[in-house]
Chain A
Amino acid sequence: SQTIHQWPATLVQPVGSPLSLECTVEGTSNPNLYWYRQAAGRGLQLLFYSVGIGQISSEVPQNLSASRPQDRQFILSSKKLLLSDSGFYLCALGRSYEQYFGPGTRLTVT
């Protein structure tokens, strides 16, 4: 069965610092991959999705970026974090019409 790993589990970063969150998947090949953000008291917001290596679609313009250097690796990055980037970041894997979520990374920007 498929497994989704996210690293790190929690992160505290100062404003203006860079960010790199990693998502890796096991047990599947050529998946659709997604990054979501869940801000405090709000629903889930789709940030990026990828249908293959090097293919990234952005849903919300902001200071974040995503990359997919390998089939089973999806990275979320920022050059300079903002306070508003705080939240719970979820990576998801898509198969047909279903999506499966990783355990998430809680990011606090101070």
Chain B
Amino acid sequence: GNSVTQMEGPVTLSEEAFLTINCTYTATGYPSLFWYVQYPGEGLQLLLKATKADDKGSNKGFEATYRKETTSFHLEKGSVQVSDSAVYFCALIAGAGSYQLTFGKGTKLSVIP
């Protein structure tokens, strides 16, 4: 079956620090990969996506590269802000015709001034 594994949180960083949240996956076929962000008390928002190997998704200073050889999609940001404090979810959809998003368990990020 399909699965997504994220690094365990919570992660606490100082403002302007470098962020990496690791994500690896197991899937049949050729999945599309996503990072979603959930701010406190809100629903999930799509942060970025990549649909094929070597694609780089980017948004709001965040980046992630689809690495088929290592089955990874690590999220990075060069300089985090307090407003980036949220829970981040890695997810995949396993190929054309699939309806189901498979999520990781989420990583809570807290950024302190």
Contact = CB atoms under 8 A, between A and B. Distances in A.
Contact of B46 (A42, A43, A98): A98
Interface stretch (B15-23, B61-69, B77-85, B102-110): B102-110
B61 to A, nearest CB: 21
Interface residues of A, number: 23
B110 to A, nearest CB: 15
A57 B36 CA distance: 24
Nearest to B45: A101
Q: Is the interface of A mostly helix, strand, loop or mixed?
A: strand
B93 A103 contact: no
Q: Is the interface of B mostly helix, strand, loop or mixed?
A: strand
Nearest to B51: A97
Contacts of A51: 99
A101 B89 contact: no
B23 to A, nearest CB: 12
A51 B98 CA distance: 11
A46 B100 contact: yes
A100 B44 CA distance: 8
Contact of B105 (A42, A59, A94, A97): A42
Interface in A1-56: 4, 6, 32, 34, 42-44, 46, 49, 51
Given A90-B43, A90-B44, A101-B44, A44 B103 contact: yes
Interface of A: 4, 6, 32, 34, 42-44, 46, 49, 51, 57, 59, 90, 92, 94, 97-104
Given A59-B100, A90-B44, A98-B34, 11 more contacts: A4-B43, A32-B99, A43-B103, A44-B44, A44-B106, A46-B100, A92-B44, A97-B93, A97-B98, A103-B43, A104-B43
